[in-house]
Structure formats: structure tokens, C-alpha cells
Amino acid sequence: MLNRKIETPIKTRRFDMEEPIYTADWAYMRELRTHNRTRQILPVDPYAEVYQFRDNLYGIFQENIDGKGDVWSWLILGPEKALLIDTGFGLGNLKGLAEELAGGRELLTAITHAHPDHAGGNAQFEQVMALEEEIPRLKQMMESPLLNDKILGPDGRCLWVKFDPKDMIAQKPYTIVPLHEGDRISLGQDYEIEVIKLAGHSAGQAAFLDRTGRTLFPGDDLIAMRIGVMGGPGTLRDFRDRMARLAERTDEFDGIFPGHFIADLDSYAVRDVAEALEAICQDPSKYDYTEEGPRGTTFCKTVKGLGCIGYRPECV
């Protein structure tokens, strides 16, 4: 493991990663996780670190058990209801934690996309909102074990972090509430969260826009590392168009709170991502460098000041 270990009293203990995390991200996370004064680890969920970013916004941080980047869930407190964005991997009692932080408000749950590090914890909730394109994948996940051979070695132990498998939630069916582009999720009075379809990283990847709090939650479509674009032909052009439309709305939010790594990025990062996507679409062969991973070679186009967009030519 190339990244320096981060010591906190959380119940997972990371000892390896699938790949190194970019140094700027790791430095931010190390500083936050060891020195941030808002950090709480509540007895209800010893696997989560809780940070307060705004009066009504909590970041819930969990170490990712599949060897990839550690994960954020976000909790927005509205006047009457609270919205939890993403459910982590299903390790620990995220539901109990979110309810405690919600302070008696009704708790709503939505996911940015149906990947196991963001939706693995869905089954502990009665119902979860997701863009309709993600529903087939969520149904598939409902029927598959959370712990698979990407997570567990031949000896049955996790390859990446130490944890007690007994603390994994049980898989069970839950209700999926389909979301659509432009939907508003009401948190009471006139506090609304707008649903924006960005696609890109997955077919139904959503961003959530809190115009009252002036914050954007783009999941893995805007992260300060490699933004992985996955899908068939046309995916990248569609993603470019959607990001370009969002780039015209940067006066509506100040802080971007992604699914991984550095949080509270400035809104202009959307314009920088849109610019890089445009450059890829103009000439997909003009990548800046390549990265080798378990799934082969990824082309990487630099996003200035942020990271890169990782893609394969067939996604354009």
C-alpha cells in the first residue's frame, strides 16, 4: 500500500488498496480524518466517521471494503425531512446513524448510482429512490451476496480492510422508488432537492442539487481523482451534453460534495469537467496518459486542477 495509513478509532482498519489514491486526495483525507474538529464516531455505527460541513449537512465517511476509494454518504437536514444520499457498502448501522443525526425528522434515502459502494446498504431501508435506469442493476444486487471474491480472499477474510463480517447488513427486498430528471424531493416547507440525470459513470447516475444550501451531490460523476466513464457508444457524448448543461447553472451552487475524496469543491469544477469531456469528444485519441487496471487500459484526459476522466474509446 503506497498511501500512508490513516489512524482513527473507526472499526474498519485498512491494510491494502487495489490502487494508490492520488496524493492530494489522500493528504486531504488524512488531514480531515485525523484533525477535523467536527469528526464524531457515534456508538450506533462504529464503522462511520461523521463530519459536519454545513449547519444542516453531514458527511458520513466509510472505508470501502472492496479495495477502492473510501466512500461518502451525505445527509441533508430539511425543515421536516432529512435526505440520505448513498448507503455505503452495507457494513454497520448506517440507518441507525442517519436516524440519530436526523433528530426525529422523517428519513428519506436516495442513491446516486447502483454500484455496491454507494447502494450496498440499501436493504436496511424500507425504500430507496434511484433514477429508473439503475433499477435493473439494483434488483440484481438485491439477489446477490454483498461479500464476493473481489472482497474476500480464499481464507474468507477481506483482502483490503479488517472488519467483522457479522456487522454486514442482511440482504432483503426493499421498495425502489423511481426518480426522473427534474423531479423535486421535498424536505418540508419550500426546501427541495432537484434530481439531475448526469449518466456518465453509470447509465442512471444522478446528481442532487440543493438550491437552498447551494450544494451539489454528483456521486462519482465529479470526483477529485479519476472519473470513470462506463457504457457503450454514445455514453461520453451524452455525458458531455449533460455536464455542459450543468455548467450553465454554476451560479446555483457553491460547494460540490462527491461520492469519494475531497469535499466542498468549488462549483467551477463542473465547467472544467465539461471542458475536458468536450476535448475527448473532439478527438478521443488525444488522451494525456493511460492507466493500467484490473480491467485493462484506460485512457485518461486531465481535468485541470481536479484529476482526470478515464474512458475507453468505445464509450465515445
DSSP-derived secondary structure for 133-162:
GGHHHHHHHHTS-SS-TTTB-TTSSBSSEE
Q: What is the CA radius of gyration of the chain?
A: 18
The C-alpha cell that represents 155 in the structure block: 481464507
Non-local CB neighbours of 215 within 8 Å, separated by 6+ positions: 54, 57, 76, 209, 253, 254, 255, 256, 257
Binding residue (CB under 5 A) for Zn ion from 25, 70, 220, 272:
220
Stretch of 18-26, 35-43, 137-145, 258-266 lying at the interface with Zn ion (CB under 5 A): 258-266
Least distance from Zn ion to the Cβ atom of residue 224, Å: 13
Stretch of 53-61, 137-145, 169-177, 213-221 lying at the interface with Zn ion (CB under 5 A): 213-221
Least distance from Zn ion to the Cβ atom of residue 201, Å: 8
Stretch of 87-95, 227-235, 255-263, 296-304 lying at the interface with Zn ion (CB under 5 A): 255-263
Q: How many residues bind Zn ion (CB under 5 A)?
A: 3
Site mask, Zn ion, residues 4-23, x = CB under 5 A?
--------------------
Q: Collapsing DSSP states into helix, strand and coil, what is residue 193?
A: strand
Residue (49 or 191) nearer to Zn ion, CB: 49
Residue (25 or 56) nearer to Zn ion, CB: 25
The C-alpha cell that represents 18 in the structure block: 487495489
Query: Closest residue to Zn ion, Cβ-based?
Result: 220
Least distance from Zn ion to the Cβ atom of residue 104, Å: 30
φ/ψ of residue 187, rounded to 5: -105, 20
Residue (117 or 210) nearer to Zn ion, CB: 117
Element spanning 13, H or E: strand 13-14
Residue (90 or 259) nearer to Zn ion, CB: 259
Scanning residues 104 to 143, which ones bind Zn ion (CB under 5 A)? 117
Least distance from Zn ion to the Cβ atom of residue 205, Å: 10
Judge contact between 274 and 309, C-beta under 8 A.
no
Phi-psi label, residue 103: left if phi above 0, alpha if psi -120 to 50, beta otherwise: left
- Footprint of Zn ion on this chain (CB under 5 A)? 117, 220, 259
